[in-house]
Structure 1
Amino acid sequence: MNDANPAADDAPVFTVLPLGNERVLLCPADGAPIADARAATDLIGEASFAGATVLAIAAQRLDASFFRLASGLAGEIAQKAANYRLRLAVVGDIQAQLQRSSALRDWVRECGEGRTVLFVADLDELARRLGAG
């Protein structure tokens, strides 16, 4: 008989990384896709509870609708993070999504001019962008 708690196996594992003066809550690639505002709110709660200043989400974890700006998911997640004074970082390769959408390319470029939403290839680039590397 297996006494393991199946719910515990499904619980997301987050890592909090100190990068420079920032505390980054890293949402790993493994796990259920972040496909709606509820999932984003849960992540923001985790980040706040952990004392994080940056919520870093692996790009593979984001539902495809995030990269279709017309869905509103990307804007909603970015706005929720900003409301809670969190910076949002999307970590990973999004070249395929960028090739499919000029609107997404424009938004990513605009985000690159600011400090609230970051799109980075990996954690090393995130550290550099946060002034930690």
Structure 2
Amino acid sequence: MATDEIVKLHGVNVLRCAPDGPPLDGERAALDLIGDAMGLGAELVAVPAERVDAEFFRLRSGVAGAVMQKFVNYRVRLAVVGDVSRHLDGSDALRDFVHETNQGGHIWILADLDALEDRLRAAG
């Protein structure tokens, strides 16, 4: 089992989560990640898309909103990193949500770690 690790990307301490860790499936899981990040001095949590519960991507479930609100409240940034195309297929609302979310500086849904590095480079 891989472990989460702290990496520095363009001056930002990032908690890069292992793909096989517990799922990001609600507020409790978000608080656990935020606590880990704060304890390790991370400003951003990068969670592999495969660790994000499918309900997160069903906007009506409210999971995405609850998770994102926790990250915003605690001032820890969140990046969901990986292929989410299966969730985007057939959902204009989710595509719009991802587009709008990625316009901000706090929550991103990105294709891969290279895209995260690019985003952090541009912000720095």
**TM-score between both structures, scaled by the size of structure 2:** 0.91
Q: Secondary structure, in 3 states, of the residue corresponding to 1:80?
A: helix
2:52 paired with 1:57: no
Match of residue 79 from structure 2: 89
The aligned amino acid for 1:38 is: R
Match of residue 91 from structure 2: 101
The aligned amino acid for 2:49 is: A
Measure how far apart 1:124 and its partner are. Answer: 1.3
Larger Rg, first or second structure (1 or 2): 1
- Count, aligned residues: 123
Match of residue 3 from structure 1: none
The aligned amino acid for 1:109 is: H
Deviates more, 1:120-129 or 1:32-41: 32-41
Structure 1's consecutive aligned runs of 4 or more residues displaced over 4 angstroms after TM superposition are none
Q: Give, in whole Å, the separation in 1 of the partners of 2:90 and 2:36.
A: 32
Match of residue 79 from structure 1: 69
Measure how far apart 1:34 and its partner are. Answer: 2.0
Q: Give, in whole Å, the separation in 2 of the partners of 1:82 and 1:22.
A: 17
2:30 paired with 1:47: no
RMSD (Å), alpha carbons: 1.7
Measure how far apart 1:53 and its partner are. Answer: 0.7
The aligned amino acid for 1:18 is: K
